[in-house]
Amino acid sequence: MTADPFILWLDQDGAPGNALLGGKFANLAEMMAAGFAVPAGFGVTTAAYRHFMSRTGLETEAARVRQAAKSTDLSKIKELTADLVKGIQSAALPGDLEEAVRSNYAALEEKTGRDGVPVAVRSSGESEDLAGASFAGQYDTYLWISGTEAVLRDMRGCWASMFGEAVLSYRHEGADAATVADAAICVGIQQMVEARAAGVMFTLDPLNGDRSKIVMEGCWGLGEGVVKGDVTPDRFTIDKVTFEIIKKDAAAQPEEYRFDPATGAVALLPVEPERRDAVCITDAEALELARLAKHIEERRGGAQDIEWAVDEKGAISVLQVRPETVWSQRQNKGQMSKAKSPIDHVLQRLSGVRVATTPSWEDKP
């Protein structure tokens, strides 16, 4: 039996749906295999993480911290994890692992034709996208990272973020981080999309669960503005059947996340006045995104939550795909409680009684 690989490319055989990539990256590999435009990249697998933790002996400390966190007050967690985090950030990487990351980043440079190609370094937990236990946004993400050393540094940062306060203090319906949080994560290294605009879209209306709509939010620059919620996005509601734009709410956007060459980092920077009040994507782009969302939903067989980006040339990329978690947990019981002939419905309506009622929802058993 061959050992589990430290590295899996998104476009590699066996990558789609592979648990070694964590939820996020396994989904992206699946999208890439299905022909969707996903930026090139590879995952440093959960096997690599486990290898690191076991070689460095940090795994024992990690187990202890997780157990102790259950009964530790939130204000003390930082103290509890300090040594572990420091260890993850500084312990020597096993030579084979380090070499694998270095050579594959070099391969990405070659593939993209760019030395020091800017990448996003993202955490992809084994269970973070599982319905009901969403740790979305709790793990760290590093944007516009350039060069092997920086990539190695931020890979450790992703690993360490598993022991952040928000993760370890997680409590939900009797479960806690020790029982539901990831035992390991994959770190995705993926070419950065130089987004002109980016955002999130749902293949249902998150306000009422209506499955006939695609609701899309977008902002200028990188999608962090939408994801973090510190930029009020433009919002489109699109009919999923006819692809009409039913509603378009433009929001003034005085700031955007973009790469700042002066500091060499991504920052929230002012948007020049002429773009501020303009909608960040064209109607045609919104419709193209909506069609993409519908395809992804059909392919994956359920309502989806999709992160997307559009570059200067208008090329669309899929950055993340995961199942919608709120309405998918519930069941629409419809609006008609008992069968009636259509004529009776109409007569009743003309008698002044509204036949149609808001559909009733209940939790799935």
Partner 1 sequence: MTEKSGSDAMQQTGEANERFPSPFKLPTPEGAEGWEELYPYYYLFSAERQEMEDGKFWFFDGMHNPEPLYPFDTIMTENWWVAASQMASRVWPIPVAMGIDHRLVNGYIYISPNGVTDPEKIAERNEHFTRRAGHYFENWDEIYVNWEEKARDCIARLKEIEFHPLPELDPEENVFSHRGVYSSHDLLSTYNRLIENMLEMGSYHFEMLNLGYGAYLTFREFCQQAFPGVTDRTLTQMVCGVDNMLMRPDDELRKLAELAVELKLADIVTGHDDPDAMLAAMAKAEGGSKWLDAFEAAKEPWFHFSTGVGYTHSDPVWIDDLRLPLMAMRGYVEALGRGEDISRPLESLLEKRRQVTEEYRGLLPTDQDREAFDGLLALNWKVFPFVEDHNFFVEHWHHTTFWSKVRELADVFVAHNFIDDREDLFYLHRHEVYDALYDLIIGWATGSQSRGEIYWRPIVKRRRQIRDVLAKWVPPPALGTPPSIITEPLTIMLWGITAETVEEWLGVDPDAAGDALRGVPAAGGKASGRARIVTNYEDLFEVEDGEILVCRITAPSWAPVFSRIAAAVSDVGGMMAHTAIISREYGLPAVVGVGFATATIKTGDVIEVDGNEGMVRVVERAAA
Residues that bind partner 1 (CB under 8 A): 205, 208, 210-213, 237, 239-242, 244-248, 283, 331-343, 345-347, 349-352, 354-359
List, in sequence order, every residue forming a beta bridge with 310; answer none if it has no partner: 197, 316
172 three-class SS = strand
Nearer to partner 1, 13 or 362 (CB): 362
Alpha-carbon distances, residue 217 vs 130, 208, 254, 276, 287 (angstroms):
23, 16, 16, 16, 13
Nearer to partner 1, 102 or 345 (CB): 345
Nearest-approach distance from CB 210 to partner 1, in angstroms: 6
Nearest-approach distance from CB 354 to partner 1, in angstroms: 6
Give the integer Cα–Cα distance in Å for 352 and 354.
Answer: 6
Element (H, E) at 204: none
DSSP assignment letter at 107: H
Nearest-approach distance from CB 344 to partner 1, in angstroms: 8
**DSSP string covering 312-326, please?**
TT--EEEEEEEE--S
Give the integer Cα–Cα distance in Å for 246 and 238.
Answer: 5
Nearer to partner 1, 3 or 343 (CB): 343
Nearer to partner 1, 262 or 339 (CB): 339
Nearer to partner 1, 73 or 338 (CB): 338
Nearest-approach distance from CB 161 to partner 1, in angstroms: 39
Nearer to partner 1, 264 or 334 (CB): 334
Give the integer Cα–Cα distance in Å for 176 and 146.
Answer: 36
Element (H, E) at 295: helix 283-300
In the numeric block, the tokens 């955007």 are attached to 256
Helices 46-55 & 95-112 angle (0-180, nearest 10)? 150
Contact (Cβ atoms closer than 8 angstroms) between residue 224 and residue 257? yes
Give the integer Cα–Cα distance in Å for 80 and 157.
Answer: 17
Nearer to partner 1, 94 or 206 (CB): 206
Nearest-approach distance from CB 359 to partner 1, in angstroms: 6
Nearest-approach distance from CB 353 to partner 1, in angstroms: 9
Which residues, other chains included, contact 304 with Cβ-Cβ below 8 Å and sequence gap of 6+?
202, 203, 293, 296, 297, 321, 322, 323, 324
Nearer to partner 1, 174 or 342 (CB): 342
Which amino acid, 295? H
Nearest-approach distance from CB 356 to partner 1, in angstroms: 4
Nearest-approach distance from CB 245 to partner 1, in angstroms: 4
